[in-house]
Amino acid sequence: MYFKEMKLNDTDRVAGAIAIRFRNGVLINASRTDKYNITEDRICYVEKYIPKSNEIYWVGTHTPSSETAVAFLAFQDFPFANILLHFHDKRMTYTPQLTQYRTDKYVTYGTPGEAKAIVRKLKETKNFAIAHGHGEFSYRFRLSRSSRIYYQNHLNDYLEQL
């Protein structure tokens, strides 16, 4: 609901990612997931990320989002953050008014280099970063009450089945 209410990803509902700190890992949507209608089979639990080799260890039906590396490093560097949002809004990605939030250069997404550049910019700006020529990132401390209830009721059951 967050993406729909904020009118983000309006032109491409399957772009972007929602990552949630969970247990000792990260819950993140699978690549090419419709963010307006996420179903349980489109959620992956990523147990581990190794930046040196860019390897992820995950459980789920579909491949996790390419932004898994960013989520892991962000949660590592921001221990108080529990949610990482990644969206695509061309009005923000390319506007000159937001240059201070943009990474210095384009870095291929899904790589340790991109993850480090985004986390560095999140630290510098205190919560918001734009991956040069790609999309936006922001972390949050908590879920809304309605989202928290959904995750407590449904995702724990789903993860127990994996």
Indicate whether 87 pLDDT > 70: yes
* Structural domain total, the chain: 1
The per-residue pLDDT for range 9-49, each reduced to its tens digit, is 445 666 789 999 999 999 999 988 877 788 899 999 999 99
Mean pLDDT of 41-62: 95
Q: What is the CATH number of the domain that holds 155?
A: 3.40.225.10
The two three-digit tokens of residue 71, written as one number: 């989520």
The two three-digit tokens of residue 92, written as one number: 């923000």
Domain enclosing residue 19, as ranges = 2-161
* pTM exceeding the 0.85 threshold for the entire prediction: no
The DSSP annotation for 41-85 comes to: GGEEEEEEEETTTTEEEEESSSPBPTTHHHHHHHHHH-TT--EEE
Of the candidates 139, 151, 6, the one whose C-alpha atom is nearest the C-alpha of residue 70 is 139
User: What is the rounded CA–CA span in Å between residue 128 and residue 121?
Assistant: 8
User: What is the rounded CA–CA span in Å between residue 19 and residue 65?
Assistant: 9
The per-residue pLDDT for range 119-159, each reduced to its tens digit, is 999 999 998 999 998 889 998 887 665 455 544 554 555 44
